[in-house]
Amino acid sequence: MKTLYIRMGTLLFCLAAYALHEARSAEAAEVTVVGFSQVGAESDWRQANTQSMRKAFSEAKGYKLIIKDAQQRQSRQLAAIHGFVDQKVGFIVVAPVTEDGWDEALQKAKEANIPVIIVDRKIKARSEDLYTCWVGSDFRKEGDEAVAWMEKNLKADKDLFIVHLQGSMGSSAQIGRTEALLAGEGRNPAWRVVARDSGAFTQAKGKEAMERILKQHTRIDVLYCENDDMALGAMEAMDEAGRSYGVKGDVAVISFDATRAGLTATLQGKINYNVECNPLHGPRVEEIVRRLKKGEVQEKYFYVPEAAFDAAFFTQSELDAREY
């Protein structure tokens, strides 16, 4: 009898261990692996974007998010995509540094049947079938918003001397915002872009570019700056050079992103007009992944909602209510 009890006990133990093993395997099988090739960490915007993805693709929600930081280099992004395919991830998300040069890597993902979601900037692919969908900003619309504000608020009876600080050359964010200013120049004969330089979307390079420009130009009426980080750098340069700017100064500052630091400067009247670039892509991309897993058809392009902030009306409570 005793032997029988021992045998039954052993059997029950084995069954329990087997059940636990099965449950763990099922749990492991449910983890969705997502490979995310991020541009880098050049700006506050970019960090908010990475954070939004981390939050949306948390372990608690059943994801394993592998983030590869490309440090602004497309070659690193291409290597990351190849690596994700070799690892057989479930989904690939790419925030592309530039628009061109993605065909071969995307073809490899397509052949492996791995859906690719492009976020933030757009790409120019040989065929739109090479990626599943895109989520991001309408950068030309952002630029048009800024230029419309300039046309309404900076009416000049004489020429308007404009300095244009551009972002990373070849990125959709730079292309769209630059196109808008060029169109504004075309419509307004009094507008003269006296200097144009790239600060690669970073505060340090924005400052360096503005230092060079300030040495060459004694009169500047407007700084059209393609992101907040560069605007903050340019403001440092203007402070050091003893130039006044913002609502009460000589140089009107137009900026993009509306990050917390950028909007704090807007509240202080240092930036006259700040056009939002919404970095909170995570929830939308996660929703797309869930839908794709259920086999639902996904709309190809999704533009995130964005606002714009005029220093004349922006309030502390609006700043306090911001998510990033």
Which residues sit at the interface with ligand AHR, rule CB under 6 A?
Answer: 42-43, 45-46, 120-121, 171, 173, 201, 227, 256-257, 277
CA dihedral 316, 202, 186, 149 (to 10 degrees): 0
Within 10 angstroms of residue 210's Cβ, the number of other Cβ atoms is: 29
Q: Characterize the bridge pairing of strands 308-310 and 273-276.
A: antiparallel
Check: CB of residue 95 under 8 Å from CB of residue 285: no
120 or 144: CB nearest ligand AHR = 120
Collapsing DSSP to helix, strand or coil, 251 comes out as: strand
Residue 193 pairs in a beta bridge with 162
Check: CB of residue 201 under 8 Å from CB of residue 231: no
Cβ at position 324, least distance to ligand AHR in Å: 12
Residue 310 pairs in a beta bridge with 273
Tokens 């994700």 -> residue: 84
Collapsing DSSP to helix, strand or coil, 85 comes out as: helix
Check: CB of residue 48 under 8 Å from CB of residue 280: yes
Tokens 């090479």 -> residue: 130
41 or 156: CB nearest ligand AHR = 41
Cβ at position 299, least distance to ligand AHR in Å: 21
For 312, phi and psi rounded to 5 degrees? Answer: -65, -25
| Nearest CA among 44, 39, 88, 60 for reference residue 265 | 44
Within 10 angstroms of residue 112's Cβ, the number of other Cβ atoms is: 13
What is the rounded CA–CA span in Å between residue 274 and residue 230?
A: 13
188 or 203: CB nearest ligand AHR = 203
Cβ at position 274, least distance to ligand AHR in Å: 11
Q: Which two tokens stand for residue 191?
A: 């507008």
What is the rounded CA–CA span in Å between residue 23 and residue 16?
A: 10
173 or 222: CB nearest ligand AHR = 173
Cβ at position 245, least distance to ligand AHR in Å: 20
Cβ at position 262, least distance to ligand AHR in Å: 9
Cβ at position 71, least distance to ligand AHR in Å: 13
71 or 87: CB nearest ligand AHR = 71
4: exposed, middle or buried (C-beta count within 10 Å: 0-12, 13-18, 19+)? exposed
Cβ at position 222, least distance to ligand AHR in Å: 19
Cβ at position 154, least distance to ligand AHR in Å: 22
